[in-house]
Every structure is written in C-alpha cells, then in structure tokens.
Amino acid sequence: MRRLFKTLLVALCMVLTIAVAHAQRPHIIPEPSYIDMAQGTFTITEKTKIVVYDEAWDAAEVFAQDMQQYFGSKKPLRCVKRGSGIKVRTDKFVPEEGYELNIQPHEIFVTGGSEAGIFYGLQTLRQMIVEYNGVVPCCFIADEPQFAYRGVHFDVSRHFFSVEEVKRYIDILAAHKVNRLHWHLTDDQGWRIEIKAYPELTEKGSMRKETLVGHGLNPENWDGKPHGGYYTQEEVRDIVAYAAKRSMVIIPEIEMPGHSQAALHALPWLGCEEQIVDVWTTWGVTPEVLCAGKESTYEFLQNVLDEVVELFPSEIIHIGGDECPKDRWKECEHCQAKMKAEGIESEEELQGYLVARIEKYLNTKGRRIIGWDEILEGGVTPTATVMAWRGAKIGVYAAERGNEVVMTPLPICYFDFYQTESREGEGLHIGGHINFEKVYGWDPYEGITDEARKNIIGVQCNLWSEYLKTMEDIEIQLLPRLAAMCEVQWATERRDESTIREKMNILRKFYEANGWHYAPYYFDGRK
C-alpha cells in the first residue's frame, strides 16, 4: 500500500510538472523550431550583465539598449567580457542564422552560429522578458529560419521619412527577425539619395510642388503644399550601419528605366526628347521614362551606381525594371537607332538590353542585380534575382528557369491594402483587402516543383507610401500583419493556426511596451 501511494505521488508530481511546464511555454513569434521547458526561473533586471564572447558586441549592445528602454533606466545593461548573467557566444556547430537559448536558474546562454544568430536569440529572449515581466522560465530553445532572405520593403519616395523614422522602421523589422530592408529610394514623385556626380537630382528632383488629395484613380484636387526631402550620403552610411548592427542588410532600389520622372525633371537630357517635366504630383504610371537609346543614359546610370555600391555593402542592388511604358521609345530616333544597331526586334527587348548592360556593369563591381519580375520579359540571365510581384505563377516560372526568386506577389504581400472588408475607420488606401489571417495562411511554395523549390530564396512584404504620410500610418499598416509574415518567412513549415491568436495577444503587449502603433482589427475580430 505504501509503495502504491509512493508511485501515485511520483506520477502526480510528474503530471503537475508537465502541466506547469506547459503553462509556462513562451509565446514566441516567429515559432521556434524546438522548445523544452524546465523548472525554475531567471530574473532579469537593469543590473543584469551581458557577458560577451567572440566579439559579438553589436548584438549585445543593441539588446542592452532595448532593455534600457524596457526598464526605463538611465543607462543600458552593462556589456562585459567576464562574469555572470546573460552569456552570448558563437558556435560553428549551430546553423549560421540559428541560435540556442538556454535559460538556467543562475545564468542564460545565447549561442549563435554567427552574430546574427545571437541577435535573433536575444530577440526571442526580449519577447520573453516582456511576456513574463523579467522573470523568464527556464527552458532550452533551438531555432533557425526557413528562408535566407526575409525582407520588408519601404517606399520613401512617395512620402519622405526622416532618418530617425527609418531607424524606427528598422527596429520594428529587427524585432521580427527580418534580415533584408528593401529601401525604395527613387521614383516619379521624388529622388531621395544624394549623388555627388549629379547634385541636381536632390536639388531639383527631391521636391514636388504639391501632392494629390484623394485617390489616384480620380485625380482632381491637390494640396498646394511642397513635399520632399532626401538623405545625404553621410546619413545613408549611418542608416546602413544602424541596420548592420541589427543583422540587417539594406538593399537600395534605383528605379530604371521607368518610374524616373523625378530624375527627368532634374536632368531633362535623360529623356528621349529631352522634354521638360515636373516631379510627378500624382500616383500611378507615367509615360516619361529614361531614354534607352542614348549612351549618355548608360553613363548616367553607371555613375549613379558607382556611388550607390560605395554606400551599400549589399551583394544585390535593386534596379527596379517594373511598369515601364514603351510609348516614348517607339517614337524616339535614338531608341530606334539603338534597336537597329543591336539587332533588337521589340521595345521589350530594348529594356532587356538595358537590364543586361547594367547587370554586366554591376558584376564588374562584384555585385548582382535584383529586379521586379518585368525584367524577365526582355530576357535576363540566370544570375539575376527576380522579385515576383505580379503573381505567384511568375515566381514559379522564374524559379523553374533557374533564377533565384523572392516571392512577394500581389495581393498577399502588399501591406498598403486595406485590412478589413468594411474598410471602416481605416482611412484612404490604394484598395484591396489583405487581413492577418490571409497573410498567416499563405504558402509561398504553392505550385512549385521540388526541383525549383531550392531557387525560392525568400519572402518579402511591400509597403508603398502613396497614402501613408506619417510614421503612425506606416506602423498601423505594418503591424500586426508583419507578425504573420515573419511566421511565413521564419517558420513556414511549423506554423500552428490553433495557437496564433493566443501568441498574438502576448505580442500585442510587446508592441505596447515598445511604443509601436498597430492596427486593432485582428484583435477585435474584424476581417
């Protein structure tokens, strides 16, 4: 009888231990690969030290600053070379962007395959600190991402955002383990990056005289207020370095040959007829494009890219390539002469010729090109990366022909769309309807053969700013849908629909702790 009682007592303790461990399981987004709960807790305070091995100082210092904000203290957590507390180190046996988080009663170990892995492990710990108010449960977490490219796009051409606002944007992305910021720097409505060889680009091309009021499909009224701004090269370097400390690469986009009216306003000789045009004050697609027939256009693009590659260490440079009307080219003596001289049969092939020349030039700089999927139309080499935006089928096609592909198809990846069917209280947006649930349930591998699957290198969501004038507007469109997207990017094959709402209610607390604005619709049950 005594032995039976003892057996029952042990069994009861085991059940209680499992129940406690289950109740303590952290609500991490994106979902980690593996979590094993243990008994005990570790309390993190503003006096906790971060012990840094292997020169992983950037990740540690960013975490220390984040904790300073969380605790509201005057100084960040101390980063030291020895002692006890949160110990960060690299290990070659851990996947490069992966990490292991081992929380014990007396210390915490964050081990990454690289400093990026350490950074992501600390972001997981950061979420847990907010969830448990600094008293984090003991556990072991092993984690790594599904995709190597986890991107978010930011359009600063349609509406300009300050250096501090761009950094805030980077902070939000970094907390979601995003590792690529696609920075859309030039378009018809504004040229936003200083190019020393052509000061007119920012002196003239960075400012439009007014902005459309209302929807771009019905342009009737303008606000009469000048809008503009640009980033100096010093500011660009600062932002690039800021992102790098958060394990994020910035991919600059310099639009060509379309979406270039701001450049044409600054330098009219870039056009086919050297026509005088304004920086565009409305949205959509303008017929004013760079002349693909003049050698001076190619010299201009090469000179611009010379300065761009000096500012951005990214291996790939985005050259746009989308939505380029060919009307001017059909009438242009220079373009038609170029087509005849090169044996080019169509204006679509002429754009392919331009893309090929730019790709070859960037290759001499040790860089590769990425472009919107229109670059496929004129023929493009297998070494170009294709950003599939006009539909997943185009991404499938590009992957099957051997190109690396970033999946970012309409409508699922367009966060400038409305978030509810009713649109009530959402303000003015471009159209469409993409809610949290649609993003979360998206399969970026749908329709892709096993052979082509290896060429899908990443997933990206896009945020165009035609109707987003303030940082609060930006954040509300981004959050919480970015959480759904980062689950797709990081944890595609381990998403669990049954747990996501509970996890999101915890992440909402994390957003509030950081002072980030977010849309309420998902939490209110609106679709």
Q: For residues 297 and 269, give the distance between their C-alpha atoms in angstroms, rounded to a whole number.
A: 9
Enumerate the H helices of 51-193 as residue ranges.
Answer: 57-71, 115-131, 163-175
The pLDDT score that the predictor gives to residue 335 is 98
Q: For residues 192 and 190, give the distance between their C-alpha atoms in angstroms, rounded to a whole number.
A: 6
Looking at domain 149-524, which of 3.65.10.10, 3.40.50.2000, 3.20.20.80, 3.30.479.10 is its CATH number?
Answer: 3.20.20.80
Helix (H, G, I), strand (E, B), or coil: what is residue 139?
strand
- 385-388/368-372 β-pairing: parallel
Exposure letters 331-343 (e unless 16+ CB within 10 A, then b): ebebbbebbeeee
Say if CB 48 and CB 84 are below 8 A apart: no
Per the DSSP assignment, residues forming a β-bridge with 294 are none
Dihedral, CA of residue 409, residue 410, residue 413 and residue 419, to nearest 10: -160
Query: Between the CA of residue 184 and those of 22, 78, 149, 251, what are the distances in Å?
Result: 44, 37, 17, 9
Looking at domain 24-143, which of 3.30.379.10, 3.40.1670.10, 3.40.50.1860, 3.40.50.300 is its CATH number?
Answer: 3.30.379.10
The pLDDT score that the predictor gives to residue 377 is 87
Query: Between the CA of residue 448 and those of 38, 145, 148, 231, 393, what are the distances in Å?
Result: 40, 20, 18, 40, 9
- 135-143/79-80 β-pairing: unpaired
SS (H, E, C) 274-304: CCCCCCCCCCCCCCCCCCCCCHHHHHHHHHH
String of DSSP letters for 10-78: HHHHHHHHHHHHHHH----SSPPSEEEEEEEEEE--TT--EEE-TT-HHHHHHHHHHHHHHHT-SSPPP
The pLDDT score that the predictor gives to residue 10 is 41
Helix (H, G, I), strand (E, B), or coil: what is residue 347?
helix
Based on the number of CB atoms within 10 Å of its own CB, is 386 exposed (0-12), middle (13-18) or buried (19 or more)? buried
**Which positions are annotated as active-site residues?**
187, 259, 323
Query: Between the CA of residue 509 and those of 56, 131, 271, 394, 523, what are the distances in Å?
Result: 29, 7, 52, 39, 12
Count how many Cα atoms sit within 13 Å of the Cα of residue 157 in the half-sphere of its side chain. 31
pTM of the model: 0.94
Q: Where are the domains of the chain?
A: 24-143, 149-524
What tokens appear for 315 in the block? Answer: 């291996």
The pLDDT score that the predictor gives to residue 321 is 96
Count how many Cα atoms sit within 13 Å of the Cα of residue 282 in the half-sphere of its side chain. 13
Interhelix angle 481-491/471-478, rounded to 10 degrees, is 50
pLDDT tens for the chain, 527 residues: list them.
Answer: 444 334 444 444 444 444 444 447 999 999 999 999 999 999 999 999 999 998 899 999 999 999 999 999 989 999 999 999 999 999 999 999 999 999 999 999 999 999 999 999 999 999 999 999 999 999 999 999 999 999 999 999 999 999 999 999 999 999 999 999 999 999 999 999 999 999 999 999 999 999 999 998 888 899 999 999 999 999 999 999 999 999 999 999 999 999 999 999 999 999 999 989 999 999 999 999 999 999 999 999 999 999 999 999 999 999 999 999 999 999 999 999 999 999 999 999 999 999 999 999 999 999 999 999 999 988 788 899 999 999 999 999 999 999 999 999 999 999 999 999 999 999 999 999 999 999 999 999 998 989 899 999 999 999 999 999 999 999 999 999 999 999 999 999 999 999 999 999 999 999 999 999 999 999 999 99
The pLDDT score that the predictor gives to residue 55 is 86
